[in-house]
A and B are shown apart, each in its own frame.
Chain A
Amino acid sequence: MIAYHISVFAENRPGRLDHITGVLAQANINIRAIKISDLGEHGVVKMLVDDPDTAYHVLKQAGVLVSQKEIIAVGVEDRPGGLHAVLKVLTRQRINVEDAYGFVLHDRAVLVIEVANVAEATSLLQGAGLHLLSKEEIYALG
């Protein structure tokens, strides 16, 4: 059930991101969504891909600092207040969103979140009637 995205450490200089995407392209990995956090001299790149296990493996082989992190992908209504409906549920239970990004694909908005306790957040969101994307749905988006 649990889905993952991959997280990569990259120095903030020309060619580093290119190196990572090159490795993924070579392995025929499709990147669904990407988020870059700039920390000055370095950054963290998070990518939602169609095959995180393979992506993790090939990047590691290429000497890239990479880790896999558990995520929850929530289907969000593509209208004003859609995102708020999700966050409201988490806030009510004092659950801190450690990182998040969203994207819209074919009129379908998806919010990807990282939380400390995935199981707890999952049941809360489901209990609130929100649609959580299954692992298969996430990886096959598109």
Chain B
Amino acid sequence: MYWEPHLETMPRAHLHALQRQRLQATLRRAMTSAYYQRMYREAGVAVDRIQGLEDLHQLPFTTKQHLREGYPFEFLTIRKDDVIRLHSSSGTTGQATVVCHNAHDLASWANLIARCMYMTGARPADVFQNMTGYGMFTGGLGFHCGAERLGMLTVPAGAGNSKRQIKFMQDFGTTIIHAIPSYALHLLSVFEETGVDPKPDIQLKIAYLGAEPYSEHTRKRVEEGLGVKVFNSYGLSEMSGPGVAFECPEQNGMHIWEDAYLVEVLNPTTLEPMPDGEEGELVLTTLDREAMPLIRYRTRDLTSIVPGACPCGRTHKRIARIKGRSDDMFIIKGVNVFPMQVETLLMSVPEVGRNYQIILENEGPMDAMTVRVEVQHEFFRGDVKSLKALQQRITAALKGELLFTPKVALVEPDSLPKSEGKAVRVVDHRRKE
């Protein structure tokens, strides 16, 4: 029932003692990184005065911007030679951020994901088919290594090629899958096309969905269509990736692993702590990461702590479904996209004006993104060929950065809302709860 009974059901007083001890170690370690050394010196923070959790508020926050400034290796507390993997996430201004891991970090991360999966009923006899993209996306390798750590037969199928995915499921006896929600829905329609009925023909029992917001309605459709139980997953690349928080069989919030992450939920404006049950921005401190500890990292994700104890017996707090972002980032096809990132790319194409608009909508079961771009007077040559070429060039530029292919619609000049004032850059028509 528990992967690590001692840690998962640890009485809260003991958990706090463990957190206190790990926080102090983490802070000492952070002070050996060039970035934190400078940041804390400039902020006048004396780390040795931080005794416990009650002193946490004295520490400055770490933000995505800091990670950009410290790119790529200024946050390292170990020699670069001892780093064995890094993951990078796309940035808002073309500047990416990285998270580096040593052997301890990767083992600890894989263990957390194994803990999540074991919690949902995954066992070494299961066959796990990982249907997300690999590469820099932490969801791919993260789940992969967690599944291997648990001891499952792990199939690194990657994203796409749905008919082959279904064949794999039949041939290998897949029991558990991991996918982004829009892909899971797509898979349902492919099952229909191929005439394979997942319920008798395939032995699936669990699906992990994450990396993209999705509704309870979507969860139900996937559960009914595939004959599985769907579990929510929460993670972010700065906190290594998936494995930060996960649903237990009670499915009332996601347990956030407090032996590995120190959890704060703060009012995003006043930065005061919010009481349990009330929504605020999730702020996390790593407690078990060596190469690159992050202190009070502002995730920008809005959530609340689910009050009370969980009947499953785990003592770690639960966070509610993520309500949104405290900034304007959106997630589509598992990719984090900032409007600014799109703007930067568009501005690298001389024919494109500053005015653009991002439309997000459901296209069948998938999410689709359309970038509407105004064509500039001086570049309109009056022929179809150059318009098509322009459209293709913009699409290629966006695809190169976003890693999926958005639709590009060319529109007349001055037909989009102006960038001055409150321009509506992102219009999200996707179905909500």
**Residues in A whose Cβ lies below 8 Å from that of B413:** 63, 65
Residue of B nearest to A5 (CB): B382
Q: Which of A37-45, A87-95, A122-130 contacts B (4 or more CB under 8 A)?
A: A37-45
**Residues in B whose Cβ lies below 8 Å from that of A37:** 384
Q: Contact between A42 and B411 (Cβ–Cβ < 8 Å)?
A: yes
A-B contact count (CB 8 A): 53
Q: Contact between A44 and B384 (Cβ–Cβ < 8 Å)?
A: yes
Q: Which of A6-14, A23-31, A77-85, A131-139 contacts B (4 or more CB under 8 A)?
A: A6-14
Indicate whether A108 reaches chain B with its CB closer than 8 angstroms. no
**Residues in A whose Cβ lies below 8 Å from that of B377:** 60, 65
Tell me the dominant secondary structure on chain A's binding face: strand
Closest-CB distance, B412 to chain A (whole angstroms): 5
Indicate whether A66 reaches chain B with its CB closer than 8 angstroms. yes
Q: Among A7, A10, A42, A64, point to the contact of B383 (Cβ < 8 A).
A: A7
| Known contacts A66-B380, A69-B382: A9-B415 contact under CB 8 Å | no
Q: Contact between B383 and A99 (Cβ–Cβ < 8 Å)?
A: yes
Q: Contact between A16 and B382 (Cβ–Cβ < 8 Å)?
A: no
Indicate whether A98 reaches chain B with its CB closer than 8 angstroms. yes
**Residues in B whose Cβ lies below 8 Å from that of A67:** 380-382
Indicate whether B388 reaches chain A with its CB closer than 8 angstroms. yes
| Known contacts A39-B387, A39-B388, A60-B377: A68-B410 contact under CB 8 Å | no
Q: Contact between A11 and B411 (Cβ–Cβ < 8 Å)?
A: yes
Q: How far is the CA of A102 from the CA of B33 in the complex (A)?
A: 74
The interface size of chain B toward A, counting residues with CB under 8 Å, comes to 17
Indicate whether B409 reaches chain A with its CB closer than 8 angstroms. yes
Q: Contact between B375 and A65 (Cβ–Cβ < 8 Å)?
A: yes
Which has the most chain A C-beta neighbours within 10 Å: B377, B381, B384?
B384
Indicate whether B327 reaches chain A with its CB closer than 8 angstroms. no
Closest-CB distance, B433 to chain A (whole angstroms): 30
Q: How far is the CA of A69 from the CA of B414 in the complex (A)?
A: 24
Residue of A nearest to B410 (CB): A42
The interface size of chain A toward B, counting residues with CB under 8 Å, comes to 24
Residue of B nearest to A41 (CB): B409
**Residues in A whose Cβ lies below 8 Å from that of B380:** 9, 65-67
**Residues in B whose Cβ lies below 8 Å from that of A8:** 382
**Residues in B whose Cβ lies below 8 Å from that of A6:** 382
Closest-CB distance, A97 to chain B (whole angstroms): 13
Q: How far is the CA of A83 from the CA of B327 in the complex (A)?
A: 61
**Residues in B whose Cβ lies below 8 Å from that of A63:** 412-414
**Residues in A whose Cβ lies below 8 Å from that of B412:** 9-11, 16, 63-65
Q: Mark A29-57, 1 if CB is under 8 A from B, else 0.
A: 00000000101011010100000000000
| Known contacts A11-B411, A63-B414: A68-B384 contact under CB 8 Å | no
Q: Mark B392-433, 1 if CB is under 8 A from A, else 0.
A: 000000000000000001111111000000000000000000
Residue of B nearest to A46 (CB): B382
**Residues in A whose Cβ lies below 8 Å from that of B383:** 7, 44, 69, 98-99, 114
Q: How far is the CA of A6 from the CA of B382 in the complex (A)?
A: 8
Closest-CB distance, B348 to chain A (whole angstroms): 21
**Residues in A whose Cβ lies below 8 Å from that of B381:** 67
Q: How far is the CA of A85 from the CA of B184 in the complex (A)?
A: 59
Q: Among B384, B385, B410, B415, point to the contact of A41 (Cβ < 8 A).
A: B410
**Residues in A whose Cβ lies below 8 Å from that of B382:** 6-9, 44, 46, 66-69
- What are 30 of the A-B contact pairs (CB < 8 Å)? A8-B382, A9-B380, A9-B382, A9-B387, A10-B412, A11-B412, A11-B415, A37-B384, A39-B387, A41-B409, A41-B410, A42-B387, A42-B410, A42-B411, A44-B384, A44-B387, A60-B377, A63-B412, A63-B414, A65-B375, A65-B412, A65-B413, A66-B380, A67-B382, A69-B383, A98-B383, A98-B385, A99-B383, A99-B384, A114-B383
Interface residues of B (CB under 8 A from A): 375, 377, 380-385, 387-388, 409-415
Nearest 7 CB-CB pairings of A with B: A7-B382, A67-B382, A65-B380, A41-B409, A69-B382, A37-B384, A42-B410
15 more contacts with CB within 8 A, not counting A9-B410, A42-B387, are A9-B380, A11-B412, A37-B384, A39-B384, A39-B387, A42-B409, A42-B411, A44-B387, A60-B377, A65-B375, A65-B413, A67-B380, A69-B382, A69-B383, A98-B385
